[in-house]
């Protein structure tokens, strides 16, 4: 059983403060809950209560959730904050803004058929975010060391950066990312030039509506055109395509006037690695459809989605970058790739855009 946490619930609704506190208590793990009805009161309580985790409603009067988050980041930069969001498009937009400002994750307020169902849904999400907090509390270097201590002898350490390596021409860039992804993508996609010679396809584990808001936010801040993918859409250079929440995105090749063209297909098949969309589905389909070198990038996230997909990419002569452990919110998905010996380079978040550019456009870094 994980160690009990100190949790501060910030919400202007007395009813929802009770619902959130009840869901935490129902886990039966001894977590201590304090509440605050406004952002201003939360800021006064944080120094005395010293919460391990702040659950922050994004829509509050007087001092909004975003204003509260900015103040927390300024005054308590190490504080872990998880946003509590509504499920409409406006809430999704604000949630994406909050994640880009450093919130670790978000919980969508459930809309179940009964209060009991809502409590059950919240309990499931709480288990996930509380594991996130436990992982962030662990010493970063210790997680990989511990994994090696129990791993088979054939497992190798993550590679050091090897700046002189360059694969053959890259046809597609594939990105798989989960927890911590929106903030990480904000540092990568807008930093890429409009002259990038390969399209980018992204699987970010998020519900419907939120992926559309993420695409809109990324599109507004960079040179590449970013959109939520649509079924039957052609894959074109200069574009970034994000899989819609709740649907798998795959790549297919179709006959065209001048040969063949790559198209995006969406489907509602069963979850893979408990995820839909899943990076494995995208990576495997692209490896099969393209048959030429691809660049797979696996970034921050829980679990091991992407492992089977990267294996398929490497079998076709592709190349793989993983986000470095020290720069991940959760070193789960990249660690699975690193421990399997499939990563060609482990790259810090701030250097990922530059390395993607150099690999795709052929200009080696100095």
Which residue numbers are catalytic? 178, 205, 305
Q: Provide the CA 267 distance to its chain's centre, in angstroms.
A: 21
Both tokens assigned to 246: 């709740």
How far apart (Å, rounded) are the C-alpha atoms in residues 163 and 170? 16
- Please name the residues in contact with 16: beta carbons below 8 A apart, sequence gap of 6 or more: 57, 84, 109
Burial environment of residue 68 by CB neighbours within 10 A (0 to 12, 13 to 18, 19 or more): buried
Of the candidates 364, 365, 356, the residue with the CA atom closest to the CA atom of residue 170: 356
Cβ–Cβ under 8 Å, residues 235 and 264: yes
Of the candidates 55, 57, 63, the residue with the CA atom closest to the CA atom of residue 79: 55
How far apart (Å, rounded) are the C-alpha atoms in residues 230 and 286? 16
């Amino acid at each position: 059983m994980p160690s009990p946490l100190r949790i501060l619930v910030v919400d202007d609704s007395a009813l929802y403060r009770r619902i959130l506190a009840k869901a935490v208590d129902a886990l039966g793990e001894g977590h201590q809950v304090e509440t605050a009805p406004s952002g201003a009161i939360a800021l006064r309580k944080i120094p005395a209560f010293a919460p391990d985790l702040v659950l922050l409603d994004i829509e509050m009067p007087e001092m909004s959730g975003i204003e509260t988050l900015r103040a927390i980041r300024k005054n308590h930069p190490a504080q872990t904050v998880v946003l509590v969001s509504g499920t409409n498009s406006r809430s999704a937009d604000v949630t994406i803004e909050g994640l880009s400002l450093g919130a670790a994750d978000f919980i969508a307020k459930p809309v179940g058929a009964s209060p009991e169902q809502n409590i059950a849904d919240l309990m499931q999400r709480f288990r996930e975010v509380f594991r996130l907090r436990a992982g962030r509390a662990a010493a970063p270097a210790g997680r990989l060391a511990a994994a090696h201590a129990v791993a088979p002898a054939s497992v190798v350490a993550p590679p050091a950066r090897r700046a002189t390596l360059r694969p053959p021409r890259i046809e597609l860039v594939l990105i798989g990312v989960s927890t911590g992804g929106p903030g990480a993508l904000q540092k990568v996609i807008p930093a890429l030039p409009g002259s990038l010679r390969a399209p980018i396809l992204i699987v970010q584990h998020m519900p419907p509506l939120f992926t559309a808001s993420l695409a809109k936010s990324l599109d507004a801040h960079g040179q590449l055109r970013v959109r939520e993918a649509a079924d039957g859409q052609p894959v074109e250079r200069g574009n970034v395509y994000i899989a819609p929440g709740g649907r798998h995105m795959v790549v297919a090749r179709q006959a065209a006037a001048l040969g063949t063209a790559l198209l995006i297909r969406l489907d509602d098949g069963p979850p893979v690695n408990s995820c839909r969309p899943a990076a494995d589905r995208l990576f495997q389909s692209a490896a099969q459809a393209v048959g030429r070198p691809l660049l797979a990038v696996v970034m921050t996230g829980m679990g091991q989605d992407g492992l089977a997909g990267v294996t398929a990419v490497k079998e076709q002569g592709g190349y793989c970058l993983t986000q470095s452990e020290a720069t991940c919110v959760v070193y789960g998905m990249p660690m699975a790739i690193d421990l399997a010996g499939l990563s060609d380079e482990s790259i810090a978040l701030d250097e990922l855009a530059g390395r993607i550019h150099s690999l795709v456009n052929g200009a080696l870094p100095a």
